[in-house]
């Protein structure tokens, strides 16, 4: 058997060796390939995939795969392959099938991107580009002469670009849904304000005038809430929201939320439970009290909005270096499909036409951003039909730094 390397006819020295070893010309090609960060190889096929041997392998294989050239075997190489992406339609992704076509001459070249799991555990994308190696005497394909390239960087950046594009697309979709919803959300209180203002002008009955004025005030507050959420979100997105830390008595803060909401919650037939540790050292915290209250109010508003009966609980506990606040309810709960999305901005705007609860879908997004600004985390547990519990932490800092 004498190996005939592809395209080497006019530069191959008239070799008397059976198999051409890297000599002057071959050596030169090998060096040129390695110089271009490729790892050249000559593989002689065995009876089955994985049973061949590398006649030559560039020393760069150590940098590429973390395996010394003398230890590199075809068996090991194939055991590392996790994914194979052929670069032309003619190349089968199944390696034995591709090998068969390569040997039969149906495939004149082989090019594929391979995801390898290296012995170190690291994953790497490489490109395998090879041509048939034929026996001079029989003309049969007996192996492959090719180059391995490291393509991890370009592959990862392509993956990142694809993910960024998908994210932008998803964001765009949510934004359109939000605009559709928000226009409805703004128009409803606006219509009420305009309508009842007109009625107010025409109505002479004092009691009725009072009712109309209350409706107008409620709708104005609601409208203001929506508009300030939108403005706050755009401020958060442009990083211009600053935190302003000072000494906060969290017992008093929770009591004030309780006082503000107890009547509304009771009017809905729901029990509002406040659980506070005794006031003292532990109830003092250096944080942004305004934002902390906004977060708690957002969560209490949601609990109230999504609960028809039962109770709503509010409290906090000291846990390691944090104060952990909780707001739980016995409301409708959050379905498994919703769970991943509820902190996404504008979420809920999606199901605008079928919605029976008002809201901009911004409350949790703003709350989460505030909590992160304060140095904490938020999470929740929920069961459809049984209720939800939101918990978030704020660092337990006692003195202003
Ligand atoms: P909004 O309440 O204005 O729609 P949020 O960002 O506050 O927006 O909440 C997003 C979504 O998360 C809600 O529309 C609702 O589907 C779900 N959700 C939030 N809190 C609760 C809760 N306590 N119980 C049930 N679902 C909730």
pLDDT tens-digit series, residues 10-41: 333 333 334 445 456 677 777 878 887 899 99
pLDDT at 17: 37
pLDDT at 282: 79
**Residue 108 exposed, middle or buried by CB count within 10 Å (0-12, 13-18, 19+):** exposed
pLDDT at 353: 43
Helix (H, G, I), strand (E, B) or coil at 352: helix
Nearest CA to ligand 1 atom 8: 361
Class of domain 242-401 as given by CATH:
alpha beta
Tokens representing 43 are 């593989």
pLDDT at 11: 35
Domain boundaries, the chain: 9-150, 156-233, 242-401
Q: Which fold has domain 156-233?
A: Helix Hairpins (1.10.287)
pLDDT at 18: 43
pLDDT at 2: 55
**Calpha distance 8→16 (Å, rounded):** 15
Tokens representing 401 are 């730094």
pLDDT at 285: 93
CA of 222 to the centre of ligand 1 (A): 16
pLDDT at 217: 92
CA of 267 to the centre of ligand 1 (A): 21
Nearest CA to ligand 1 atom 25: 333
Q: What are phi and psi of 82, to 5 degrees?
A: -105, -25
Contact (CB, 8 A) for 168 and 177: no
Radius of gyration, CA atoms only, the chain: 34
Helix (H, G, I), strand (E, B) or coil at 142: strand
pLDDT at 102: 93
Q: Helix axis angle, 152-202 relative to 206-237, nearest 10°?
A: 160
**Calpha distance 36→38 (Å, rounded):** 6
**Alpha-helical runs (H) found in 36-151:** 61-65, 74-80, 95-104
Please list, residue by residue across 132-147, b when 16 or more beta carbons sit within 10 angstroms of its beta carbon and e when fewer do: bbbbeeeeebbbbbbb
**Calpha distance 127→41 (Å, rounded):** 13
pLDDT above 70 as % of the chain: 89
Helix (H, G, I), strand (E, B) or coil at 329: strand
In which residue ranges of the chain is pLDDT below 50? 7-20, 22, 349-355
Best residue among 174, 236, 305 to mutate for probing ligand 1's pocket (most ligand atoms within 8 Å of CB) is 305
State the Cα angle at 33 between 49 and 41, rounded to 5°. Answer: 20
Which residues have CB under 6 Å of ligand 1?
302-303, 306, 329, 331-334, 338, 342, 347-348, 359-365, 388
State pLDDT tens for residues 81-110: 999 999 999 999 888 899 999 999 999 999
State pLDDT tens for residues 293-336: 999 999 999 999 999 999 999 999 999 899 999 999 999 999 98
Helix (H, G, I), strand (E, B) or coil at 126: strand
Q: Which fold has domain 9-150?
A: Beta-Lactamase (3.30.450)
Kindly give the number of the ligand 1 atom that is closest to the alpha carbon of 390.
Answer: 23
**Calpha distance 300→329 (Å, rounded):** 9
């Amino acid at each position: 058997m004498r190996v005939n390397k592809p395209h080497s006819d006019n530069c191959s020295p008239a070799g008397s060796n059976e198999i051409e070893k890297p000599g002057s010309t071959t050596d030169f090609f090998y060096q040129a390939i390695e110089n271009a960060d490729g790892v050249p190889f000559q593989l002689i096929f065995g009876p089955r995939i994985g049973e061949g041997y590398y006649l030559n392998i560039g020393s760069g294989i150590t940098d590429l795969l973390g395996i010394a050239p003398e230890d590199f075997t075809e068996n090991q190489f194939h055991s590392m392959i996790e994914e194979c992406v052929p670069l032309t339609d003619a190349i089968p992704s199944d390696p034995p099938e591709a090998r068969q076509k390569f040997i039969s001459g149906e495939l004149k070249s082989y090019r594929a991107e391979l995801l390898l799991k290296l012995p170190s555990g690291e994953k790497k994308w490489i490109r395998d580009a090879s041509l048939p190696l034929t026996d001079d005497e029989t003309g049969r394909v007996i192996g492959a002469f090719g180059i391995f390239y490291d393509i991890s960087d370009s592959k990862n950046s392509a993956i990142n670009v694809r993910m960024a594009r998908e994210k932008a697309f998803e964001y765009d979709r949510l934004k359109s849904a939000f605009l559709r919803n928000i226009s409805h959300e703004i128009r409803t209180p606006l219509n009420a304000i305009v309508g009842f203002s007109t009625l107010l002008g025409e109505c002479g009955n004092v009691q009725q005038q009072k009712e109309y004025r209350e409706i107008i005030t409620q709708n104005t507050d609601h409208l203001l809430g929506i508009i300030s959420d939108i403005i706050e979100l755009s401020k958060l997105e442009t990083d211009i929201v600053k935190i302003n830390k000072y000494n906060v008595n969290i017992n008093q803060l929770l009591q004030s939320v309780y006082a503000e909401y107890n009547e509304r919650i009771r009017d809905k037939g729901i029990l509002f439970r406040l659980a506070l540790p005794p006031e003292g050292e532990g109830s003092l915290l250096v944080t942004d009290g305004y934002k902390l209250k906004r977060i708690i109010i957002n969560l209490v508003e949601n609990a109230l909005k999504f609960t028809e009966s039962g109770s709503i609980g509010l409290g906090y506990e000291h846990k390691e270096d944090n104060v952990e606040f909780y707001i739980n309810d016995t409301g409708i709960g959050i379905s498994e499909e919703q769970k991943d999305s509820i902190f996404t901005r504008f979420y809920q705007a999606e199901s605008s036409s079928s919605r029976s609860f008002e809201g901009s879908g911004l409350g949790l997004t703003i709350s989460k951003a505030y909590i992160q600004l304060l140095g904490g985390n938020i999470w929740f547990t929920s069961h459809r039909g049984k209720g939800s519990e939101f918990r978030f932490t704020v660092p337990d800092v006692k003195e202003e730094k």
